[in-house]
Structure 1
Amino acid sequence: MMQKQQGFTLIELVVVIIILGILAVTAAPKFINLQGDAYRSTLDGLKASLQGANTLVYSKSAIAGKEKAADDTVQVGATAADTVAIAFGYLQNDAASLEEALELDTTNDWTIAEGADLTAPTILYQTTSPYDDGTGANPAADCHLEYTPSQALGALPTYEVKGDDC
């Protein structure tokens, strides 16, 4: 008479553990991309901040009667030094205005690559993100925010988060 086997052999357990280990090493990083999610969430937060800042800038422009001007300035702070450039009441796409309105740290944390003119998008990205290769060449990685100012009276600015490669 043969005895019934009542459990797994040591070899079977070791093989299963090795297979699970291989799966964990290869599959888990594809599903757990915390750094990429953090960059993407930061860009979404920056987009919301820019939209909020533009709402306030438009309000200041309307109060000053400058919301119909294609190229003007409006004071957003307590002093005359707190001035931003506007196009049809909304922030223009120059680095100085965006830095002033959003209070961004462009020395350490953020980079603003201005659009060539008011019709070209300005690109904002974190200096440590995959978009920044350290050379300023702006690689093709999509991990940035594109802001294009208002192009006409009554038209809204556009905000586009490109975060596929974060």
Structure 2
Amino acid sequence: MDFTVSKIKIWSKSNTGSKRNSGFTLIELVITIIVLGVLSATAVPRFIDLKDDAKKETVENFHGTLRSTVRLLHMKSQIDNILGDDATIATDYGDYQFSRGYPKTRSEATTPTAYFIETFLELGVPVDVIQNNTTRTATYAEITVYEDNIYSRIGYGTGDLLNDTCYAEYQHTIETQVFSLKTDGC
């Protein structure tokens, strides 16, 4: 018990004997400013790149969603044994045209004509739509969807998205269906 009391007394004596100011010296401030400058010079560019990385990730997610959706719709056509060149299949989203068991990018089975991404990805109501007899471009905030008789693209940019090279694509022809991903322009 006495040991603890004497220890406290020693501590309090050494603490009261110090006459040092509690402020920072000029050298400490300069070193702190230099360290903060170096940290901000290396960290800020990483945070700026996060927007581009987020766009790439979003487009990659769209790519996966396109592939999964087509795979599920193809399985439905196989289960229903509807694998002809031009077949209309009743889906949860309405009638849609298929070729060889794969959904077309543009279905004329309904009026008005339905498009693949518009029908199956449930993006909501577009901000703007430009449509003619063969193509449709819809804008959803920063996301653009372009679709025609062969291509369904979704990504960041304008028009058919080819110049912006930040999109996921589903291409359907009579012979094949191809998925591609372009993220150079994200």
- Verify same fold: TM over 0.5: yes
Match of 2:51 among 35, 40, 47: 35
Match of 1:89 among 101, 104, 110: 101
Give the Å deviation of 1:58. Answer: 0.9
Give the Å deviation of 1:100. Answer: 1.5
Q: Does 1:123 align with 2:153?
A: yes
Name the TM-score, length of structure 1 as normaliser.
0.65
Q: Structure 2 regions of 5+ residues with no counterpart? A: 1-24, 107-113, 128-139
Q: Structure 1 regions of 5+ residues with no counterpart? A: 1-8
Cα–Cα, structure 1 residues 50 and 138, in superposed 2: closer, same or farther, change >3 Å?
A: closer
* Partner residue, 1:149: 172
- TM-superposition CA deviations, 1:6-40 (whole Å, max 9, x none): xxx84696378358526734x54443322222222
* Partner residue, 1:75: 90
- Poorly superposed stretches of 4+, deviation over 6 Å: none
Map 1:45-64 to 2 at 5 A.
Answer: 45-64=61-80
Map 1:6-17 to 2 at 5 A.
Answer: 10=26, 14=30, 17=33
Distance 1:137 1:64 in 2: 34
Cα–Cα, structure 1 residues 148 and 139, in superposed 2: closer, same or farther, change >3 Å?
A: closer
Of Structure 1 and Structure 2, the greater strand share is in 2
Cα–Cα, structure 1 residues 137 and 111, in superposed 2: closer, same or farther, change >3 Å?
A: closer
Match of 1:104 among 98, 104, 123: 123
Identity %: 28
Distance 1:112 1:49 in 2: 14
Name the TM-score, length of structure 2 as normaliser.
0.59
> SS of 1:57's equivalent?
helix
Give the Å deviation of 1:54. Answer: 1.0
> SS of 1:86's equivalent?
strand
Which stretch of the first structure deviates more once superposed, 142-151 or 49-58? Answer: 142-151
Kept in 1: contact 2:170–2:178 (CA 8 A): yes
Letter in structure 1 aligned against 2:153: I
- TM-superposition CA deviations, 1:95-140 (whole Å, max 9, x none): 623222222225143432123x33xx33212xxx4x24xxx47472
Say what the alpha-carbon RMSD is for the aligned residues: 3.1
Letter in structure 1 aligned against 2:103: L
